[in-house]
Chain A
Amino acid sequence: MRKVMTGHKAVAEAMRQIEPDVVAVYPITPQSEIAEYYAQYVHDGVVHSELVPVESEHSAMSACVGAAAAGARVMTATSSQGLALMVEVLYIAAGMRLPIVMALANRSLSAPINIHCDHADAYLARDAGAFQIFCESAQEAYDYTLIAQRIAEHDKVRIPGIVNLDGFTLTHTSQVVEPLEDEAAKKFVGPLKALYPLLDVDHPVSAGTFAMPDYYFELKRAQAAAIEEVANVFLKVQQDYASLAGRRYAGFIEPYRMDDAERAVVVMGSTAGTAKVAVDGLRKKGEKVGVLKVWLYRPFPYAEVAQALATVQAAAILDRAFSFGAMGALYSDVAAALAHSERRPTLANYIYGLGGRDVTVDQILQAFAELKEARPETRLRYLGLRE
């Protein structure tokens, strides 16, 4: 049944249906409502999760690690500085191969202090070893929370997963969302198979072990294989979900009017919606333009991005955060994807929307206009910035 709800409520609904054994969470703007909704569910007896109201995000992720290592299904949510505080333990969760799924309400990092949207937090956690999905809408935030849970807990994966939704733009605005019925959602996610349950005293293990130069490298290589495996699992789980829920999800990326596009923008998150509006306008004027939205950010879909951009003449890669001292992080990935292609577009890299700066259709139109004159270059361009 279609309902009107915020992105937060959509994520909380998915969490309610998943009903993890443990939710350890510390509220931070703009993620707080997820924690609040879930606390309400626990208080009302709607779910039987153990809610651990910790004293910091470092503790939140630590509690998640402990519970997940013990064999529990675990979820959390955070944003910005909260993720920064979690990151130390997020690396540990990934290294210990614990399937912890978290919503990340994307928000800028200090300083200066700012509570609004950009992708600096997601980029901060980029190399932690968690898979990352970016959502365009509240519907996607709901859908990909269920999908992420299945992926994270897959036998060959077993790593944390981050579901990104733009702070305020998605978390606090009301949209139409069509959730699954509870039973269907629960059946889709299925039961967690605990690998080393703490109470299995006949098969005890030590978790969080020590590895010297003789084994550290091999253990990290095995971890790399796990996140590579996400790609295979993602496609299958996404397909299962799409047929169950009647969505048109197919692949790591969503091409929008890309079939004969000569110019394209590559983008993640809610700005994809803005870019689609810009493209619709330009298409009416006969311009051959399109949008390439990236759903799966880690592991990065190099081959699919290269193929999608192979016939495009010029592409603007939009990064909603700096990677200081370098080109934007998404740009670097796209450039790497195209490095071995015989046919590849001229690329431009735009930094946009930092600290909640409004992202307008005009900004996207500006990028498309400048792409007409695109030349090979290695410099940052900006959208919506005062000189």
Chain B
Amino acid sequence: MADELKGWKDLPLGGVAPGGSARELQKTGSWRAQRPIWHEDKCIQCLQCWLHCPDDSILIHSGKMTGIDYDHCKGCGLCAAICPKDALEMVPEREGTCAK
């Protein structure tokens, strides 16, 4: 994230955000109330979670799900809801944080 704030003449028209630019913001998931926990043993790598995540917070490496980007995940629960194998579980943020 740029340290210097831009002036009004340098902003994109209508305040659109270019694709992927939210990643430049270091932490947008800090207000998450629930966090998804990934149970790798149950995961069949169908990538439905990645497809549905509105915040691009399912981490992928070499075409496989490798974890969750908690800096940007808002805890919406879509991944857990769509997962066909219950490999993602939503837990209260405090508990999830402690568990780690």
A→B interface (CB under 8 Å): 95-98, 158, 195-196, 203-207, 209, 211, 214-215, 217-219, 221-222, 225
Is B5 in contact with chain A by the CB < 8 A criterion?
yes
Is B99 in contact with chain A by the CB < 8 A criterion?
no
Complex-state Cα separation, A174 to B34, whole angstroms: 63
Given contacts A215-B5, A222-B9, contact A207 B19 (CB under 8 A): no
B→A interface (CB under 8 Å): 5-9, 11-20, 22
List residues of chain B with CB within 8 A of the CB of A222.
8-9, 11, 13
Contact (Cβ within 8 A) B14 A158: yes
Query: Nearest Cβ distance between residue B69 and chain A, in whole angstroms?
Result: 17
Partner of B19, one of A95, A97, A205, A215: A205
14 A-B residue pairings within 8 Å (CB atoms): A95-B14, A95-B15, A158-B13, A203-B18, A205-B16, A205-B19, A206-B19, A207-B14, A209-B16, A211-B15, A214-B5, A219-B8, A221-B8, A222-B11
Chain B residue nearest to A222 (CB atoms) is: B8
Besides the known contacts A95-B15, A205-B16, A209-B15, 9 further A-B residue pairs in the complex with CB atoms under 8 A apart = A97-B13, A97-B14, A196-B16, A204-B19, A207-B14, A218-B5, A219-B15, A221-B8, A222-B8
Complex-state Cα separation, A206 to B18, whole angstroms: 6
Complex-state Cα separation, A260 to B67, whole angstroms: 80
List residues of chain A with CB within 8 A of the CB of B7.
218
List residues of chain A with CB within 8 A of the CB of B14.
95-98, 158, 207
Contact (Cβ within 8 A) B16 A207: yes
List residues of chain A with CB within 8 A of the CB of B18.
203-205
Contact (Cβ within 8 A) B17 A218: no
Query: Nearest Cβ distance between residue B9 and chain A, in whole angstroms?
Result: 7
Q: Which 6 A-B pairs have the closest CB atoms?
A: A204-B19, A97-B14, A218-B8, A221-B8, A205-B16, A206-B17
Given contacts A218-B6, A221-B8, contact A195 B19 (CB under 8 A): no
Contact (Cβ within 8 A) A218 B11: yes
Complex-state Cα separation, A221 to B7, whole angstroms: 10
Contact (Cβ within 8 A) B19 A203: yes
Complex-state Cα separation, A217 to B11, whole angstroms: 11
List residues of chain B with CB within 8 A of the CB of A214.
5
Query: Nearest Cβ distance between residue B42 and chain A, in whole angstroms?
Result: 32
Complex-state Cα separation, A218 to B18, whole angstroms: 18
Complex-state Cα separation, A328 to B15, whole angstroms: 34
Complex-state Cα separation, A195 to B16, whole angstroms: 11
List residues of chain B with CB within 8 A of the CB of A219.
8, 11, 15
Choose among B8, B14, B22 the residue with the greatest number of A CB atoms under 10 Å from its CB.
B14
